[in-house]
Protein backbone atom coordinates (compact mmCIF):
# COMPACT_ATOMS: atom_id res chain seq x y z
CA UNK A 1 0.00 0.00 0.00
CA UNK A 2 1.20 3.50 -0.82
CA UNK A 3 0.40 6.64 1.14
CA UNK A 4 -0.48 9.67 -0.98
CA UNK A 5 -1.59 13.23 -0.31
CA UNK A 6 -4.35 14.85 -2.34
CA UNK A 7 -2.48 16.76 -5.00
CA UNK A 8 -0.20 13.83 -5.84
CA UNK A 9 -3.26 11.98 -7.12
CA UNK A 10 -3.31 14.60 -9.88
CA UNK A 11 0.48 14.74 -10.37
CA UNK A 12 0.61 11.02 -11.12
CA UNK A 13 -1.83 11.44 -14.02
CA UNK A 14 0.50 13.71 -15.95
CA UNK A 15 3.79 12.19 -14.87
CA UNK A 16 6.23 11.83 -17.77
CA UNK A 17 9.45 11.06 -15.89
CA UNK A 18 10.28 14.63 -14.93
CA UNK A 19 10.99 15.64 -11.33
CA UNK A 20 13.08 17.53 -8.80
CA UNK A 21 16.09 15.15 -8.70
CA UNK A 22 17.28 11.76 -9.90
CA UNK A 23 16.24 10.13 -6.61
CA UNK A 24 12.85 11.83 -6.68
CA UNK A 25 12.23 10.63 -10.24
CA UNK A 26 13.35 7.08 -9.45
CA UNK A 27 10.92 6.87 -6.53
CA UNK A 28 8.03 8.44 -8.45
CA UNK A 29 8.62 6.30 -11.55
CA UNK A 30 8.54 3.16 -9.38
CA UNK A 31 5.25 4.20 -7.78
CA UNK A 32 3.73 5.35 -11.10
CA UNK A 33 4.67 2.18 -12.96
CA UNK A 34 3.44 -0.01 -10.09
CA UNK A 35 0.05 1.68 -10.31
CA UNK A 36 0.09 1.37 -14.09
CA UNK A 37 0.79 -2.36 -14.05
CA UNK A 38 -1.41 -3.11 -11.03
CA UNK A 39 -4.31 -0.64 -10.80
CA UNK A 40 -5.65 -2.62 -7.85
CA UNK A 41 -2.76 -1.37 -5.69
CA UNK A 42 -4.08 0.13 -2.47
CA UNK A 43 -3.63 3.81 -1.72
CA UNK A 44 -4.17 5.44 1.65
CA UNK A 45 -4.99 9.13 1.53
CA UNK A 46 -2.83 11.05 4.02
CA UNK A 47 -2.63 14.59 5.32
CA UNK A 48 0.66 16.29 4.44
CA UNK A 49 4.00 14.83 3.33
CA UNK A 50 3.78 11.37 1.75
CA UNK A 51 6.04 8.81 0.10
CA UNK A 52 6.79 11.15 -2.80
CA UNK A 53 7.61 14.11 -0.53
CA UNK A 54 10.12 11.86 1.30
CA UNK A 55 12.42 12.08 -1.71
CA UNK A 56 12.12 15.82 -2.20
CA UNK A 57 15.78 16.95 -2.50
CA UNK A 58 17.42 18.84 0.37
CA UNK A 59 18.83 21.31 -2.13
CA UNK A 60 15.45 22.77 -3.15
CA UNK A 61 13.04 25.00 -1.27
CA UNK A 62 10.97 22.49 0.73
CA UNK A 63 7.37 23.35 -0.13
CA UNK A 64 5.71 20.15 1.13
CA UNK A 65 4.55 21.75 4.40
CA UNK A 66 3.38 25.02 2.81
CA UNK A 67 -0.12 26.09 3.73
CA UNK A 68 -1.13 26.56 0.11
CA UNK A 69 -0.11 22.97 -0.71
CA UNK A 70 -2.36 21.68 2.11
CA UNK A 71 -5.17 23.81 0.67
CA UNK A 72 -4.53 22.32 -2.76
CA UNK A 73 -4.65 18.78 -1.30
CA UNK A 74 -7.95 19.57 0.46
CA UNK A 75 -9.51 21.10 -2.68
CA UNK A 76 -8.65 18.03 -4.73
CA UNK A 77 -9.90 15.56 -2.12
CA UNK A 78 -13.15 17.48 -1.75
CA UNK A 79 -13.71 17.53 -5.49
CA UNK A 80 -13.08 13.78 -5.71
CA UNK A 81 -15.23 12.97 -2.65
CA UNK A 82 -12.27 11.52 -0.74
CA UNK A 83 -11.31 11.75 2.95
CA UNK A 84 -8.00 11.70 4.83
CA UNK A 85 -7.31 8.14 6.03
CA UNK A 86 -9.45 6.51 3.34
CA UNK A 87 -7.99 3.44 1.63
CA UNK A 88 -8.94 2.57 -1.92
CA UNK A 89 -7.53 1.00 -5.05
CA UNK A 90 -5.77 3.12 -7.67
CA UNK A 91 -8.38 2.11 -10.26
CA UNK A 92 -11.06 3.58 -7.98
CA UNK A 93 -9.13 6.85 -7.95
CA UNK A 94 -9.13 6.79 -11.76
CA UNK A 95 -12.91 6.24 -11.62
CA UNK A 96 -13.25 9.32 -9.38
CA UNK A 97 -11.22 11.32 -11.90
CA UNK A 98 -13.59 10.27 -14.67
CA UNK A 99 -16.59 11.13 -12.53
CA UNK A 100 -15.57 14.36 -10.82
CA UNK A 101 -12.57 15.94 -12.57
CA UNK A 102 -12.25 17.87 -15.83
CA UNK A 103 -8.94 18.91 -17.45
CA UNK A 104 -9.52 22.58 -16.63
CA UNK A 105 -9.48 21.77 -12.89
CA UNK A 106 -5.67 21.68 -13.18
CA UNK A 107 -5.65 25.37 -14.18
CA UNK A 108 -7.88 26.30 -11.27
CA UNK A 109 -6.55 24.11 -8.47
CA UNK A 110 -2.85 24.01 -9.41
CA UNK A 111 -2.41 27.71 -10.22
CA UNK A 112 0.82 28.04 -8.16
CA UNK A 113 2.59 24.94 -9.54
CA UNK A 114 5.58 25.45 -11.84
CA UNK A 115 4.91 22.18 -13.70
CA UNK A 116 1.41 23.26 -14.74
CA UNK A 117 2.53 25.12 -17.86
CA UNK A 118 3.82 21.92 -19.50
CA UNK A 119 0.19 20.91 -20.06
CA UNK A 120 0.91 17.26 -19.27
CA UNK A 121 -1.34 17.15 -16.20
CA UNK A 122 -4.42 18.20 -18.17
CA UNK A 123 -3.41 15.73 -20.85
CA UNK A 124 -3.24 13.07 -18.11
CA UNK A 125 -6.80 13.86 -17.02
CA UNK A 126 -7.97 13.60 -20.65
CA UNK A 127 -6.26 10.23 -21.01
CA UNK A 128 -7.98 8.87 -17.89
CA UNK A 129 -11.31 10.06 -19.32
CA UNK A 130 -10.43 8.21 -22.51
CA UNK A 131 -9.90 5.04 -20.46
CA UNK A 132 -6.18 4.88 -21.20
CA UNK A 133 -4.84 4.68 -17.62
CA UNK A 134 -1.33 5.84 -16.75
CA UNK A 135 1.38 6.09 -19.39
CA UNK A 136 4.39 3.84 -19.69
CA UNK A 137 7.56 5.64 -18.55
CA UNK A 138 10.76 4.51 -20.24
S1 LIG B 1 0.08 21.18 -12.05
FE2 LIG B 1 1.60 20.62 -10.48
S3 LIG B 1 0.45 20.11 -8.63
FE4 LIG B 1 -0.99 20.11 -10.36
S5 LIG B 1 -1.06 18.00 -11.05
FE6 LIG B 1 0.49 19.00 -12.28
S7 LIG B 1 2.45 18.67 -11.24
FE8 LIG B 1 0.80 18.20 -9.78
* Local confidence pLDDT in tens for the 138 residues of the chain: 999 999 999 999 999 999 999 999 999 999 999 999 999 999 999 999 999 999 998 877 778 988 999 999 999 999 999 999 999 999 999 999 999 999 999 999 999 998 999 999 999 999 999 999 999 997
pLDDT on residue 43: 98
21 vs 53: CA distance, rounded Å: 12
Could you tell me if the CB of 10 is within 6 A of ligand 1? yes
pLDDT on residue 59: 78
Could you tell me if the CB of 116 is within 6 A of ligand 1? yes
Is 1:122 a contact under the CB 8 Å cutoff? no
36 vs 134: CA distance, rounded Å: 5
- Give the distance (Å) from ligand 1 centre to CA of residue 62: 16
pLDDT on residue 105: 97
Could you tell me if the CB of 11 is within 6 A of ligand 1? yes
Residue of 72, 105, 113, 114 to test ligand 1 pocket, by largest number of atoms within 8 Å of CB: 113
pLDDT on residue 63: 86
Could you tell me if the CB of 7 is within 6 A of ligand 1? yes
pLDDT on residue 62: 79
For residue 10, which atom of ligand 1 is closest to its CA?
Answer: 5
56 vs 73: CA distance, rounded Å: 17
Residue 123's closest CA among 11, 44, 14?
14
Q: Please state whether beta strands 87-89 and 42-45 pair in parallel, antiparallel, or not at all (unpaired).
A: antiparallel
Amino acid sequence: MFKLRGHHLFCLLGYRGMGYSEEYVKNMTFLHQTLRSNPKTLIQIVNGPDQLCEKFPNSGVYHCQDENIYKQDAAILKKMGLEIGEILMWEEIEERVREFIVPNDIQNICSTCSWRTYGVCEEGVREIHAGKGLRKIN
